[in-house]
Amino acid sequence: MLKLHHAPNSRSGRIVWLLKELDMPFELNAMAFHPKDLKSDDHRARHPLGRVPVLEDGDVMIYESGAIMEYIMARYGDGGLKPAVDSPDFPAYLQWFHYSEGMVMPPINIIMVNTVLLPPDRRDENALNQAKRLLGKALAPINEALEGKEYLAGTFSAADIQLGHASIMSGRLGMIGDDMPNLAAYVERLQQRPACQEAFAA
């Protein structure tokens, strides 16, 4: 059975979300989001940086949330949650799937570091403000792309998990303003999905 190495309120929720959407059984190794677990010798043997998510599948050990999503869909997804290669939705699927780690998560990381993770005396106000501006700029095209649409690439797909998760995080950081109504409605829509709710509760 697949085993997901997980910490709450982290990107490993994306994998829980995907597995729940696919209705696949899996074992969860729920660690604390704390160096005592993430930087332990056991976990560093799974991921050299001591990060999550990591997926274990028999002899396979794989990290990077996007790679894990693709791995699960390719081996077990039966063509679901991803447009076919010759579908007109396929380029948008690829673009938005990768936009999550490429454009949205980098400023989110800086915001998290300078609000939650570092002690107040080590936080950098300039870096925080710059990251907030960058995140606002990165979210605007998602809001535009969602004009008149429910999902990013045709019907609900793994791009909506990968970038949807980052969008929900952005909302929690107070970064989805009144000027982004499509994105706000999208986040609401995603949060109605039972698999999304289970992922954020895991």
Ligand X SMILES: N[C@@H](CCC(=O)N[C@@H](CS)C(=O)NCC(=O)O)C(=O)O
Binding site for ligand X (CB under 6 A): 10-11, 38, 50-53, 64-66, 101
Whichever of 63 and 76 has its CB closer to ligand X, that residue is: 63
Query: Shortest distance, CB of residue 183 to ligand X, whole angstroms?
Result: 21
Query: Shortest distance, CB of residue 32 to ligand X, whole angstroms?
Result: 11
Whichever of 56 and 101 has its CB closer to ligand X, that residue is: 101
Whichever of 10 and 143 has its CB closer to ligand X, that residue is: 10
Whichever of 51 and 154 has its CB closer to ligand X, that residue is: 51
Helices within the chain (DSSP H only): 12-21, 35-38, 41-46, 65-76, 90-99, 105-112, 125-145, 158-172, 181-191, 194-201
Query: Shortest distance, CB of residue 51 to ligand X, whole angstroms?
Result: 3
Whichever of 108 and 177 has its CB closer to ligand X, that residue is: 108
What sign does the CA torsion over 36, 38, 39, 42 have?
positive
Question: Could you give the 3-state DSSP secondary structure of residue 33?
Answer: coil
Query: Shortest distance, CB of residue 178 to ligand X, whole angstroms?
Result: 28
Query: Shortest distance, CB of residue 86 to ligand X, whole angstroms?
Result: 28
Question: Could you give the 3-state DSSP secondary structure of residue 95?
Answer: helix
Contact status, residue 5 vs residue 43, Cβ threshold 8 Å: yes
Query: Shortest distance, CB of residue 194 to ligand X, whole angstroms?
Result: 22
Q: How big is the chain, counted in residues?
A: 202
Looking at the DSSP bridge assignments, the partners of residue 60 are 57
Whichever of 51 and 132 has its CB closer to ligand X, that residue is: 51
As a whole number of angstroms, the distance between CA 81 and CA 160 comes to 9
As a whole number of angstroms, the distance between CA 130 and CA 112 comes to 13
Neighbours of 173 (CB within 10 A): 17
